[in-house]
Amino acid sequence: MKFSILALLPALISGATAAPKPAGTLAKRDAPKVYLAGDSTMAKNGGGAGTGTEGWGQYLAYSLDIEVINDAIGGRSARSFTNEGRFQAIIDVVEPGDFVVIEFGHNDGGSLSTTDNGRTDCFGDGEETCISPTTGETVYTFVFYEVEAGKALQAKGANVIMSSQTPDNPWETGTFVYEPTRFVGYAKTAADAIGASYVDHGQYVADRFEALGATAVDAFYPNDHTHTSPEGADVVSAAFVKSVLCANDGLAAHVKNATSSVPGSCV
């Protein structure tokens, strides 16, 4: 999908200029909800990534005492989730005390030098901008898109959790290798910029996968090195739960499971 800069601007501006209301004036609903913003690795049916795949967001509800709304969608980046109005759709419905988990990175890489797939972010971790060689659109950084969405969500009274992307199969070569992408660090940069929570989901998944070993983990990847089976998604979800419990984030109060009962160690 292509979007002109004119189509993009109102969404960015409304997010950027929404006046934050004092938290005390916002009435919380009885039970908060959890909204998930992400890509195929989080999405229902693996975002259509292929038969036998599932996204981890489909498993999170089993560990929580509150409702999870999985708005993740395959193929999206922080940029395209923004440009398609998908953050705005969550901003529109979120209520004070709700939680929003934002996890991107798998589709954010690439170069804008000669082509533009509509997903690639401008390189950098701040206010850098690029011009799309395809549409002429001004393209912002991963951090910019996550910060703009996070600020608008916080202005509605939501608790924003920036989560680092999941690793591709770290056993792919037969030897365990986990090298976080730059988007892992960028997610923390975005969280720190707006005082949001940060969980290093990628590291928790990597640690679990290292402990489970090559045979078990290879079986979690039926089609490629990115998209997990339902069994793999359940483990990836548990790693997220562990990261939330270890961070003692506000969401931790809604986790049914004791920290010690969830496999793995706090990072």
Name the residues that contact ligand NAG, by CB under 6 A: 62-63, 238, 241, 256-257, 262
**What is the smallest separation between the CB atom of 205 and ligand NAG, expressed in angstroms?**
13
Token pair for residue 65? Answer: 């005492």
Dihedral of alpha carbons 229, 55, 67, 24, sign: positive
Task: Tell me the C-alpha to C-alpha distance, in Å, between residue 52 and each of 48, 55, 180, 228, 233.
Answer: 10, 10, 26, 8, 11
Q: Which is nearer to ligand NAG, 77 or 228 (CB)?
A: 228
Q: Could you tell me the smallest distance in angstroms from the CB atom of residue 208 to ligand NAG?
A: 11
Minimum distance from residue 254 beta carbon to ligand NAG (Å) = 12
* Cα–Cα distance for residue pair 165/78, rounded to 1 Å: 11
Smallest separation (angstroms) from ligand NAG to the CB of 82: 30
Q: Find how far residue 220's CA is from the centre of its chain.
A: 20
> Beta-carbon neighbour count of residue 27 at 10 Å?
9
Nearer to ligand NAG, 63 or 228 (CB): 63
User: Which CB atom, from 83 or from 237, has the smaller least distance to ligand NAG?
Assistant: 237
CB of 183 to ligand NAG, least distance (A): 24
Q: Which of residues 149 and 255 has its CB atom nearest to ligand NAG in the complex?
A: 255
Question: Which active-site residues does the annotation give?
Answer: 40, 224, 227
* Beta pairing partners, 130: 139
Q: How far apart are CA 150 and CA 155, in angstroms?
A: 9
Question: Which residues neighbour 118 within 8 Å (Cβ) at sequence distance 6 or greater?
Answer: 1, 2, 3, 79, 80, 83
Amino acid at 53: T
Residue 60 vs 149, nearer CB to ligand NAG: 60
